[in-house]
Structure 1
Amino acid sequence: MAGERLKTVRSRWRNHWRQMLGVAVLTTTLAAAWHQLDVRLGGFLEEAERSTYDTVVTRFTQRPEVSSQVVLVAIDQLSLKDIRANAQYALNFGNWPYSRNLWARVVEQLEAEGARAIVLDAVMDERGTDESMDLAFAQVLQATATPFFLGVSTHANAPRLPPADFSAPPPTEAPAADVLDAPRPSTAEETFPEEAGSETFMEEASEGVLPSVTPEQVARALAFPVRTDGRALPALDYETSSGERLPSHPVQPIPVLVDAVDGFGLVEPEADADGFMRRTRFVYSDGANAFATLPVRVAAGLLGASAIELSGRTLRLGSRAYAVDADGSAGIDFGGQLHDRFTSVPLISVLDAWVKRSQGQPTGLPPDVFRGKVVVIGGNAVGLNDVKATSFSSHEPGVVKQAAVLDTLLGSGRFITRAPLWASLALVFGVAFASAVLLMTTRWTPLEIAWPLGLYAGMSWVTGPILGLTNTYVLTALPALAGVLASVSAVAFNHLVANEEAAFIRQAFSRFMEPKLVEQMIAQRELPRLDGENVEITAFFSDIRGFSSFSERFKDDPRKLVRLLNTYLTRVSAALLKEGGCLDKYIGDAVVCLFGAPMRQADHALRGCRGALAAKAAVDRLREEFRAQGLPDMYTRIGVNTAVNFVGNFGSEQLFSYTAIGDGMNLAARLEGANKAYGSVIMIGPRTYELAREHIEVRELDRVRVAGKTEAVTVYELLALKGGLEARKRETVERYHAALALYRAARFEEAAAVLDARRVEDPEDGPTQALLERCQRYAKAPPPGFDGVANLDK
C-alpha cells in the first residue's frame, strides 16, 4: 500500500511540478511585495512579525547564567520605604527624588567596593533646591577614580547645541573647575542616629559663585565622535499626535556636572510601535552632533574608544567589533527577565553599607558583589513609573535595556541581527514550494486543513534554532504567511484537478457503470488511478456458445443479427450494472466486466457471482423470447475469476480505455471457454469461491492446470445463491463430488458407475456427462502419470 502511495506521489510530481514551482514563485513574489509595503506602512504583517519575534526570542535565547559584567543597584520599593522611614536619611536626603548628596554617598561606597564603573540610568538636568548639594556631588565625582556615567534625555524645546569640535584640546581654564577644586566651609552636615554609631559626617560643600559652562563645552561633553561609511544617522525626533515628526535635542545637564561626569549618553526609550523594547540604535544625530546611547558611551569609555565606527554591518568600539544590521541598529539580547540575568542589590543596602564603613563596621554586602563590575543604578519601584515591555515580560524596569545592551557590549558581543532579506525570501520560497509539493502530491484533506494551521505555530521551530546558534533572526511570520498562501493555492489547484478528474470520470464511466455508482464514487473521492494500480478485482467474461452458427442463420439479414445481438448485450449489461459492475468492453458477442474497480467494493467477488447468475437468468428469459419468435437458441457461457490485476487507462494516444490486465484476467477468459469441456454454464476460480463461499452454492468441477502455468487450481461451477439450489440438483452435485473423489484416486470404473447411475435421474447435467465420458475413456486406457489434474488448453 505504501508503495502504491509513493507511486501516486511520484506521478503527481511528474505531471504537475511546473505548477508547484509556479505557485512557489508567485507566492514568494507576493510575499516580498507585501513585506516591502508593510514595512513602510506598519500593517498586519509587521505586527505578526513582532509577535513571532517575541516567541522565537523567548524560546531560543533565554540563558540561565547571570551576567558577569553588570550588577544592578535597584531603587526598589524597599529602598524608598526604608529611606522614608529612617528619620536621619529623610532629613539628609529628603524624599524621592533625593538630594544629590545621597548619590555622592553611593558613588563613594561603590568605589570602595571596587566597582569598574558606575552608570546612573537617570538624568540630572534640573538644579537642586540646595545647590550646594549639586556642588558637593560634583566634588565627589571629581575626586573619585571610578568612571561615572549619566543619562541625557531629549526634548523638542531643548536648545540646539553648536557642533562639537573634537579636534581642539579640551579647555584648560574652566571656571567650574576652579570653584569645585577650592574647599569651602561646610554649609551642611549629615548626622546619623545613635544606633548607627552617633558619628557626625561633614559635607565639604562649596559656597560662592556657581560654575557656568559654555554651549561649546556642553556640546563637547554630550556629543561623541562618530565615523560612518556615508550612511545617515537616525535623527533625534518625535512624532506628534497628528503624525508629524519634529526634531528634538539633548536636554543639557546642570552645569556643575558637565566636567565632573566621565560621559553622558542618551536614555531614549527606543520602543516599537506596540510599546515593546526589542531593538536599539547606538548613536543618534540632531543634525549638528552625534550622540551615543548611554550603554555605548559607557562601553566606549571603558574600552578606550576615541570614536564610534559604523561601517556596513559592523559597529566598532576601540578594538572590539559587533555585528549589527545594515541600518546600524540591532536586536537587544536580553537573555531572559531582569531578575534572572542580573544580580541586583537594593539601594538601601548600599547606603547602609556606606554608613557602616564610615563607622568601621562590616558593610553587610555580599563579598565582591561589585568588584570589577559595571554597576548600573536604576529604578524598579512601581511608583517610579519606569516600567517597560520586552519580549520576555510586559512589566520590566526600564533599566533592563541599559543593562542588557551594556552586558552585550562588554561581554558576549553578540546582538540579535536580522538575516539578509534574500535569506528570508529563500526560506519563504522553500516553505511555499514545500507546501505546494506536499499538498498537491498527497491531496489528503486532513493535511490540507492541518498544514496551514501548523505552519504559523511551527515556523518558529525552523527559525528558532538558527537564532539560538547564530543570533540571527530570519523572518518567521512572512514564510508562514507565504506557506499559507501557497497551501490555499495548492488546495484550490487540487479542487480544480479533482473537478476535472470528476468530469472525466463521469464522462468515461457513465456508459459502463450505473450513474448513481459513478456519482457515489466521485462523492466519496474514490476516483480511480487512471495511470494504473494493482487492485484485487473480480473479472467477468461471457460468450455466446456457437455464435458463428447462430449468425450464419442471418447472413441474408445482418441488420436483424445486429438488433438481436444488441438486445442480448443490453440484457446482460443491465444485469451486471445492477450488481455494481463496470463494463470493460464488448468483443463481438463477448462481454467483459469488472467488479471492485474503479470503485472499491469489499464484496466484489460476491457481486461478480450475483452478476453472473443475473446474466444467466436474463439470457434464459431471452432464450424463451427467441424460441417464441421462432429464432435460434442462444446459450451463454460465463467465466468469473478474482485476482490482483493492474487496472487503469490503456491504449494509444488515439484511443485508450479503462481496463485491467494480468494473469487473473487471462484465467477468467480461460474459465469461460472451459465451460465447453465441462458442460457447465458459469465457472469460477478458487479466489472467487474463497471470498464468496458463505453466500453461494457451487460444484467443485476439477483441478486444472492453465497453459503456461505449473500450479494447478481448483475450479467450481456456480449454481445459485446460498439456499437457492433445488433438491434434485443438490443430489446430482453430491453424486458428482463422490465420483470426483474416485476419479482422483484413479478408480475410473467405480467413478463411471456412480455417474452413470445419476445420469438417468438428471440427464441434462453437463458436468456429469463430461466426467462420465472421461472416466470411461481412462478406464479403457489410463493416462500415464495421472495426478488428477486436467490441462486447461488455450
Structure 2
Amino acid sequence: MRKLPVIVTGLAALLFCLALGYLQPAFLLPLSRYSTDAFLRTMTQPPRSNLVAIVDIDDVSLSQFGQWPWSRTLMKRMQDELRRLGAAVIVYDIIFAEPDRTSPNNASREWTREFMEDVSIDGIPSGQGDFDAAFAESIAQSPTLLACFMDLAYAPVADPETDDHYQGHYFETGPANHRLLPQARRAIAALPLFQKAAASTAFFNATVDPDNIVRRTPLLFALGPNRIYPALSLEALRLYRQDDNFHIDYDESIHGIASIRLKNLKIPTDEQGRLVLNFRSQPFPHVSAADLLTGRVSPNTLSNRIVLIGTSAAGLKDLEATPLAPEVPGVDIHATAIDNMVAGDMLHEPRWLQWANLFAIAVLCGLMIPIIYHARSWIGFMAVFTAIFLVILLSGWLMETRQVVASPVEVGFSIALVYTLMTVVKYWNEERERRRIRSMFGVMVSSEVLQFIEDHPTNFSLAGRKAEATVFVSDIVNFSAMAENLPPEALSRLMNDYLTPMANRIMQRGGFVDKFDGDAVMAVWGVPYPLKDHAAQACLAALDQIQLLATLRTELAQRFHHEIHIRIGINTGLVTAGNMGSEKRFQYTVLGDPVNQAFRNEDICRFYQVPAVIGENTYLQACDAIEVRQLGLATLKGKSLPVTIYQLLGRKGEGSDAMRELVHAYEEAYKCCREQDWEQALQRLEEALKIEPRDGPSQLLRHRIQTRGHHPSDDLHIFNAGEHLRRN
C-alpha cells in the first residue's frame, strides 16, 4: 500500500500527458520549434534545383546606381535584360505602388505644384516622358509576376470594390468554404497600369513565429466575400508550369485546409494554408543587379528559370531570420518555397501525427511506469534516456527521409514528466520508509546494518513473514537480589554500563536488538534482513559478551559491589517476524517455537552451571565457527520429545588441551550413562572433575547418577528440569 502512490502518480501523469497531447498547449510550441530547427541544422539537406535564380539589388548595386527606389527606366533596362537572357518567369518581390517621381511628366506636375506656375521640360523625345508607361510596356513583353501586400490589420473591413484593379489569378469563387481561409483586410498592390501589363499579381507576405523566425509561409489569403489569392511563390510556379488554376482541398474536421493542387502536383499545407519550409543549406544563385544592368551576366545563368528580383541590402530591411541563419533576404524565402514545391520535399505535418503522438505517449509511458516502479533508479533513468533518445532518432529520421515534422517534444516531455514525478514520489516514499526504519531500528542494529536495511528495503518485510533466524536470550544471574540491594540510581547506572557494551557486541555482529526486559536482552540474527551465517554470528556475539564481561566484572564489582555473571540461550529455527502489538503501539519482533527454546536454553544454563547453551540447529549451522560440548538430551517445556543441547565453549580452534580432555571425558561418561554403565560413567566423570573440579555439567551428571535410587531410570541420560527440581 505504501508504494501505491507511486503507481497512482505515474498513471495520473500519463493521463495528464495524454490530455496535453490532445489539447496541444502553447507552452510546448517553443520547444517543438527548437527541436525542428535543430533537425534542420543537423540533417543532410537535399540539393536545390536549378529552377530558381535571384537578381539581388544589393549594396553594390545601390552604391553604383543610386538609392532606392530606382527610376522606372532603370527597372525597364533590368526587365529587358532578363527577357534577353531568356528568363522563363520574372517575379518582383517589390511593390510598385506609386508612380515614378523621376518620370518627366510626373516631375513637371510635381514642380508645377511646388512653384505654383507651369513648368515644362523641353528636349524630351516624343513618347518618352512617361517612364511608368515604358516600364509597363516592357512588363507586358515577358511573363511577369508582380507583388502585393495583404494587409491583415489596418483596414476595418475588406472592401473588394477598391480592389477591382487587382488582377491576381484567384483560385475559385463562392462563399462555401471561404470561412476556412485566412482573411486579409485589403491588398496593397502595384499601380493598375503595371497590373494590366503583368501576367499576374500575388502577395509576398511572410509569417514569423513569436520568436521572429520564419519557418512557414502562407500560400493563400481570402479577400472579401469571394476572392482567394495566391502567394508569390505559388503563382510563380503556376506561371512557369502554365497551369490554368489551383484547387484547394479543404478539411472540415480540422476547420482548415489540407493541401493545394496544381494539376498533378499536390502541396500539403497546415490548416491555415501555410507551407512548412524545408530550408536549403546550399544558397540559391544570386546575380547582382549591377552586373545585370551592365551586361556582365551570361545567358546560361538565368535562361529558362524563374527569376526572383529582391534585395539583400541591409538598409532596405528585407531580411528575415530562419532556422539556418539569422539574416536571410526575404526573396530567398520565396525561392525556398518554389524549390520545395518543385522538388516535392516540403515539410508537412500530417493529420495522423497527433494520434501517433498520443499512441506513443500511451505505449512508452505505459512501459516506463512499471520499469520506474520496480527497477533501481539508474535502470529507470537509463530506460527513460533510451526511450527519449529513440524518439529523437525516429523524429529526425521522419524529417530527413519522409519530410514529416514529428517533434519529439510532446512524447519526450511526457516520458520525462512521468519519470520525474514517479521518481520524486518514489524518493519521498523511500525517505519516509527510511525514516520509519531508522526510528524503528536506529538504536537496535549497527550503522552498517541499518544502512543495508535502508538501501535494500525490498530484501525484508515489516509485515508478518516466516524466516529462518537465530534467537539470542541473556540475563544476569541473581539479578533480583542485586536489584533489591542497590539504590535505584546505582541500579540504573549499573544496567546502562552493562547493557551498552553488550548491545554493541550484538550490533557489531550484525544482530538486531529485539528488546531489553529488565536485565534480559533478546536479540535476533537473520531478520529483519537476511544473513547467511546468522547462527555463527549469534554464537560469536555471545562469546564476545562473555569475554568482555570477564574484563568488566572487576570494574563493575568495585563500583557497585556486585559481580555480574550472565546466562545465554541461543536457538535457530523458523520464526514469524513482523510488527506486532496494538494498532497504535507496536514493535518489530519475532515469535515462534525457536524463541521459546532459546529462553529454555538460557534457563538450563543455571542447572548445568555454564554461561551459554545452544540448540542443535544452531550447532549444525555454526559448527565451523565454534567449539562446543554436547551436554546431552533435555526435555523442555512445551516439547514432547527431548532435544540435544550444547555448551558454547569458544571460537573454532581456540580450546586448550585440558578443555578438549575435559570434553572427551564428559562425553564418554554421557555415553556410558546412556548404556546404563554407571560405574564406568562415574569413573569418566571423576577424570573430568580432576581436570576441572568446578565443571558444572560433570557435577550435575554425577549427582543424577548418584541419586538415581534403587530403580534406575532408562532415561537418566535425558535431563528434565522439572524432575530435577522435584528431586532436589
Query: Into which bin does the TM-score normalised by the smaller protein fall?
Result: 0.5 to 0.7
Aligned counterparts, 1:510-521, within 5 A: 514=444, 520-521=450-451
Q: Does 1:732 align with 2:669?
A: no
| Cα offsets for 1:64-118 (capped at 9, x unmatched) | 33311543324264xx426745xxxx4xxx5443334444444444445544323
Q: Hey, what does 1:24 align to over in structure 2?
A: 14
The structural deviation recorded for 1:585 is: 10
Alpha-carbon distance between aligned partners in 1 of 2:305 and 2:199, rounded to the nearest angstrom: 17
Q: Deviations over 1:174-223 (max 9, x none)?
A: xxxxxxxxxxxxxxxxxxxxxxxxxxxxxxxxxxxxxxxxx675233465
- Paired residues, what number? 600
Q: Structure 2 matches for 1:693-712, cutoff 5 A? A: 698-699=626-627
The answer on whether the counterparts of 1:380 and 1:386 sit within 8 Å (CA) in structure 2 is yes
Counterpart in 1 of 2:270? 325
The 3-state SS of whatever aligns with 1:149 is strand
1:141 maps onto 2:131 in alignment: no
Q: Of 511, 521, 530, which aligns to 2:461?
A: 530
Deviations along 1:355-402, one digit per CA (max 9) or x if unpaired, are 68xxxxxx3x7xx44444323232223333221111222222222321
Query: Which residue does 2:44 correspond to in 1?
Result: 63
What does 1:505-654 correspond to in 2, within 5 Å? 505=437, 514=444, 520-521=450-451, 524-528=454-458, 529-530=460-461, 539-540=470-471, 575=502, 579-580=506-507, 581-582=511-512, 593-595=523-525, 597-598=527-528, 608-613=538-543, 636-638=568-570
CA 1:141–1:646 in 2, change beyond 3 Å: closer, same or farther? farther
2:286 to 344, 363, 366: 344
Aligned partner of 1:276 in structure 2 is: 213
Task: Summarize the Cα distance change of 1:113–1:125 in structure 2 as closer, same or farther, 3 Å threshold.
Answer: same
Match of 2:60 among 73, 78, 81: 81
C-alpha contact 2:169 2:201 (8 A) present in aligned 1: yes
CA shift, 1:351, in A, is 3.8
Q: How big is each residue's C-alpha offset from its partner over 1:223-266, in whole Å with a ceiling of 9 and x where there is no partner? A: 55367745432122xxxxxxxxxx4x212312332122222111
* Greater mean alpha carbon deviation, residues 612-621 or residues 254-263: 612-621
| Letter of the structure 1 residue corresponding to residue 137 of structure 2 | Q
TM-score normalised to the size of structure 1?
0.58
Q: Which amino acid aligns with 1:64?
A: Q
2:464 & 2:343 partners in 1: Cα distance?
64
Equivalent residues of 2:278, 2:347 under 8 A apart: yes
1:385-784 to 2 correspondence within 5 Å?
A: 385-412=317-344, 414-417=346-349, 420-430=353-363, 433=366, 436-442=369-375, 444=377, 460-461=392-393, 463-474=395-406, 476-498=408-430, 501-502=433-434, 505=437, 514=444, 520-521=450-451, 524-528=454-458, 529-530=460-461, 539-540=470-471, 575=502, 579-580=506-507, 581-582=511-512, 593-595=523-525, 597-598=527-528, 608-613=538-543, 636-638=568-570, 681=612, 698-699=626-627, 719-720=649-650, 730-732=656-658, 760-762=690-692
For the structure 1 residues 372 and 437, does the alpha-carbon distance in structure 2 shift closer, same or farther, using more than 3 Å as the test?
A: farther
Distance apart, 1:295 and its partner CA: 0.9
Which sections of structure 2, spanning at least 5 residues, go unmatched? 104-128, 252-256, 476-494, 558-564, 631-644, 666-682, 700-728
Quick one: distance in 2 between partners of 1:110 and 1:674? 119
Greater mean alpha carbon deviation, residues 757-766 or residues 305-314: 757-766
Q: Does 1:152 align with 2:164?
A: no
Q: Which runs of 5+ in 1 are unaligned?
A: 1-10, 165-214, 237-246, 357-362, 545-567, 626-632, 703-714, 740-752, 770-794
Residues 387-396 or 126-135, more deviating: 126-135
**Offset of 1:46 from its aligned partner?**
3.9
In 2, Cα distance between equivalents of 1:614 and 1:680: 12
- The whole-number CA distance in structure 1 between the counterparts of 2:359 and 2:382 is 23
Give the whole-Å Cα distance in 2 for the aligned partners of 1:460 and 1:448. Answer: 18
Amino acid paired to 1:262: A
> Is the 1:23–1:486 Cα contact (8 Å) retained in structure 2?
yes
Q: Which residue of 2 aligns with 1:293?
A: 231
Of 121, 130, 137, the residue aligned with 2:93 is 121
Partners of 2:345 and 2:45 in 1: CA distance: 18
Partner residue in 1 for 2:180: 232
Report the more deviating stretch, 19-28 or 275-284. Answer: 19-28
Q: Mean alpha-carbon deviation: is it higher for 410-419 or for 384-393?
A: 410-419
3-state secondary structure, aligned to 1:375: strand
Relative to structure 1, the CA distance from residue 602 to residue 133 in structure 2 (aligned partners, 3 Å threshold; closer, same or farther) is farther
Cross-structure match for 1:749: none
CA-CA distance at 1:685 after TM superposition: 6.4
Q: What displacement does 1:333 show? A: 1.8
CA distance in 1, matches of 2:464, 2:85: 82
Q: Tell me if the contact between 2:236 and 2:306 (Cα under 8 Å) persists in the aligned partners.
A: no
What SS is found at the alignment partner of 1:259? helix
1:323-374 residue CA offsets vs partner (Å, 9 max, x unmatched): 222343342222x44xx2533343344444x468xxxxxx3x7xx4444432
- Counterparts of 1:120-269 in structure 2 under 5 Å? 120-128=92-100, 129-130=102-103, 132-144=130-142, 147-155=143-151, 163=160, 218-221=165-168, 223-225=170-172, 229=177, 231-236=179-184, 247=185, 249-269=186-206
Contact 2:275 2:337 in 1 (8 A): no
Contact 1:379/1:397 (8 A) holds in 2 = yes
TM-superposition CA deviations, 1:519-563 (whole Å, max 9, x none): 95599555353299999998445699xxxxxxxxxxxxxxxxxxx
Q: Supply the distance in 2 between the matched residues of 1:305 and 1:318 (Cα, whole angstroms).
A: 9
Q: Which amino acid aligns with 1:333?
A: N
Q: Given the alignment, which residue of 250, 256, 259 partners 1:311? A: 250
Cα offset for 1:763? 6.0
SS in 2 for 1:138: helix
For the residues of structure 1 that align with 2:689 and 2:466, how far apart are their CA atoms?
Answer: 42
1:747 is aligned to: none
Letter of the aligned partner of 1:54 in structure 2?
D
**Equivalent pair of 1:280/1:329 in contact (CA under 8 Å):** yes
AA in 2 matched with 1:321: K
Q: Deviations over 1:441-498 (max 9, x none)?
A: 3463x68899999999996445433433443334544445544543453244324533
Instruction: Find the residue that maps to 1:139 and give its secondary structure.
Output: helix
Amino acid at match of 1:22: A
1:371 and 1:648 map into 2 onto residues whose CA distance is: 92
Structure 1, residues 382-431: CA drift from partner, whole Å, max 9, x if none?
33322111122222222232112111222215332265544444444456
- Is the 8 Å Cα contact of residues 583 and 593 (structure 1) preserved in structure 2? yes
Summarize the Cα distance change of 1:687–1:81 in structure 2 as closer, same or farther, 3 Å threshold.
farther
Q: Secondary structure at the match of 2:207?
A: coil
The answer as to whether partners of 1:686 and 1:716 remain within 8 angstroms in 2 is no
- Residues 321 and 30 of structure 1, relative CA distance in 2, 3 Å threshold: closer
| Superposition deviation, residue 50 in structure 1 | 3.2
Q: Is the 8 A contact 1:576 1:614 kept in 2?
A: no
Change (3 A) 1:601 1:636: closer
Percent of aligned positions that are identical = 19
Contact 1:12 1:440 in 2 (8 A): no
Q: 1:672 to 1:134 in 2, by over 3 A?
A: farther
After TM superposition, give the deviation of residue 322 of structure 1 in Å.
2.4
Return the match for 2:240 from 289, 293, 302. 302
1:591–1:125: structure 2 CA closer, same or farther, 3 Å change rule? same
When residues 355 and 618 of structure 1 are mapped into structure 2, their CA distance, relative to the original with a 3 A threshold, is: closer
Q: CA–CA distance in 2 between the matches of 1:468 and 1:16?
A: 39
In the aligned structure 2, how far is the partner of 1:387 from the partner of 1:125? 21
Partner of 1:563: none
Tell me if structure 1 keeps the 8 A contact 2:369–2:418.
Answer: yes
CA contact (8 A) 1:67 1:342 kept: yes
